[in-house]
Amino acid sequence: MHAIGFGPRFAVNRGGAHTVFDFSGGVLPPGAALARASVATCYDASGAIVSVAADGARFDHDPVTGALRGLLIEPAATNTLARSTDWSDGYWLKTGLSASAGVLIETVASGGHAVRQTIGDTGFTAGQAVSLSAIASERGGSAKRYLLLVIGAAPSFSASTFAIFDLAHGVVTASGNCTAAAYPAGGGAWLCVASATPVASAAGQQIALRLNASATAIVGYGGDGTSGLNVSHIQIEAGAVATSRIVTGAGAGSRAADVLTLDWRSRGVGDGTIAVRYGFDDGSSQDATLVVVGGTASVPATLARRWLTHVQKL
């Protein structure tokens, strides 16, 4: 299995047009069915995060341009943080902050300005990568504040594991013991992600999200009582990438895997192993094989990209 460049859509089509399942129009084509045992989220054309009912196909949009990306296909995931969109809840331990849904404002206290939450009952697992992410933006009238995501420290990690983000430009200005990046999330906001792999299993570990006055180091400072950041949809999950937002209530929340089933018999394709090409939103593609049994085959939820525009028999 490998990814290759892909030119004009369907340029290679040895099997004919009838052996292409096209998802670029925002609807499931004939012969395609999707199942998912839970609610899930995606971006609509206005750039808003919306919930899609169980078994509903998610046609995701670019949060900045509103352009249709394609059919969103993801594996199962769990967000172990409770109250992922409401900092005011008691699940969040607050230091030097006043907090409400989606807003963090520093108090006049000196020191750290942070919210923290313990990672479930089991904590981190050695060797299992985790990703901490949140959607954040600067606030008008605020003094310059940076977003600081802290995944953890010893004993789960060999050193303090953190990333600092400049939300004016969506850049990582400093990091320690992790990989980090920011992606446009619409409305001037950024999806900020920090990923790392624990070296030891440990329960009782806490993640933290802080307001920071420095772009290069974790610092304490005297707050002014009015400055802060807009921050919402925080999430920690297994894996080295951040997936679609899993909104939680009083406890962890999970998203079931998307199961896309294609009826190849309806396209004149018999049972057996076939070569296919998956096309993605960015024009790239991935060649693979599928095993057709009883006329159908399921698309894996672990493709090279999550936004599927077509599946073509080679």
* DSSP-assigned states of every residue in 131-193: EEEEEEEE-TTPPP-EEEEEEE-TTTSSS-EEEEEETTTTEEEEEESSEEEEEEEETTEEEEE
Contact 227, 142 (CB under 8 A): yes
pLDDT tens track, the chain, 314 positions:
333 333 334 444 444 557 999 999 999 999 999 999 999 999 999 999 999 999 999 999 999 999 999 999 999 999 999 999 999 999 999 999 999 999 999 999 999 999 999 987 678 999 999 999 999 999 999 999 999 999 999 999 999 999 999 999 999 999 999 999 999 999 999 999 999 999 999 988 999 999 999 999 999 999 999 999 999 999 999 999 999 999 999 999 999 999 999 999 999 999 999 999 999 999 999 999 999 999 999 999 999 999 999 999 99
**Is 124 strand, coil or helix?**
strand
Give me the pLDDT at residue 8, please.
Answer: 36
pLDDT of residue 123: 83
What lies within 8 Å, CB to CB, of 48 at 6+ separation is none
User: Whole-model pTM?
Assistant: 0.93
Q: What is the pLDDT of residue 16?
A: 53
The one-letter amino acid code at 103 reads V
DSSP secondary-structure letter at 293?
Answer: B
Distance CA 154, CA 156 (A): 5
SS3 31: coil
The pLDDT of residue 17: 56
CB atoms within 10 A of CB 220: 15
Q: What is the pLDDT of residue 18?
A: 73
